[in-house]
Amino acid sequence: MKIGFIGLGNMGAPMAHNLIKAGHDVTGFDTAATPEGITMAASAAEAAMGADVVILMLPNGEIVQKVADAIIDGMLKGSVLLDCSTIDVASARAVAALARSHGLGAVDAPVSGGIGGAQAGTLTFMAGGATDDFARVKPLFDVMGARAVHCGPSGNGQAAKICNNMILGATMIATCESIALADKLGLGRQEMFDVVSTSSGQSWSMNTYCPAPGIGPTSPADNDYRPGFAAELMLKDLRLAMEAAEQVDADTPMGARAAELYAQFVENEDGAGLDFSAMLPRFETRRRG
């Protein structure tokens, strides 16, 4: 396919490189990054011109809407706008409606798997949009990722992402505070892991991404908490979840508390630039109250 790729940062660039390796014709645009090996356009509109699929990987809903406004008039009728950014549900649905009004397909497909998954082509895509639009971009998902789930109509990909990450954020906090409590009770971390990872307390945060160094599979904890998934990105996703909860009047007390704790960690406790699992050393030094 001929592909326009807008947003070539830490995630977008390796995704675009994997598409090129698979034989697709990729033209990129980014306001700052100029990755090697990708043909670059002078503007987002130029990158989108003549493309069968235009992929966006951008920081937030406001930027996605601005870029969509700038490129949609010049896109080929019948082409697909594939937004892989993680943004608010309302913006995703607004962009999809705009695309459809111009005779375009639209899929919102945020990703899970981080920079490592983007490089390895093992991302998971959570996709919202019409069934035929999903089918048209599925071959691209197969190149950039290991799994793509069609979650329903436009916006549902974003809904799936923020619900998943609300669980992840709350679970990681519970995992970290439980390990810190075990430390103070004199329970060894390996024994804690051996019990919890095979009992009713098991979770992805404990079994796969354990926040304690030297315990379980290798994780960012074993690399000084250099981010696989940065704490500030977790905060972004939790805030998107809280925004969505407010819009639909959903009661999410655990999600709200997780958002508060990550905000405190990132904005007031030097958590920015660390992995979201670096909550463990935070709890190690804290006392009740």
Active site residue: 2, 77, 161, 184, which one?
161
pLDDT at 247 (0 to 100): 94
Q: From first to last of its 289 residues, what are the pLDDT tens digits of the chain?
A: 999 999 999 999 999 999 999 999 999 999 998 899 999 999 999 999 999 999 999 999 999 999 999 999 999 999 999 999 999 999 999 999 999 999 999 999 999 988 889 999 999 999 999 999 999 999 999 999 999 999 999 999 999 999 999 999 999 999 999 999 999 999 999 999 999 999 999 999 999 999 999 999 999 999 999 998 999 999 999 999 999 999 999 999 999 999 999 999 999 999 999 999 999 999 998 888 6
- Alpha helices of 148-252 — where are they, by DSSP H? 156-185, 189-196, 204-207, 231-248
Q: Do 29 and 51 touch, CB atoms closer than 8 A?
A: no
- Please give the backbone phi and psi of residue 69, each rounded to the nearest 5 degrees, phi first: -60, -35
Q: Do 85 and 109 touch, CB atoms closer than 8 A?
A: no
pLDDT at 288 (0 to 100): 80
pLDDT at 140 (0 to 100): 98
pLDDT at 287 (0 to 100): 84
Predicted structure pTM score: 0.91
pLDDT at 289 (0 to 100): 66
Largest Cα separation within the chain, whole Å, is: 65
Distance CA 238, CA 257 (A): 10
Q: Do 2 and 52 touch, CB atoms closer than 8 A?
A: yes
Ordered by where they begin, the domains of the chain are: 2-153 (3.40.50.720), 159-285 (1.10.1040.10)
Question: What's the CA angle centered on 241, arms 5 and 165, to 5 degrees?
Answer: 70
CA 156 to chain centre: 14
161 catalytic residue (yes or no)? yes
Q: Do 89 and 244 touch, CB atoms closer than 8 A?
A: yes
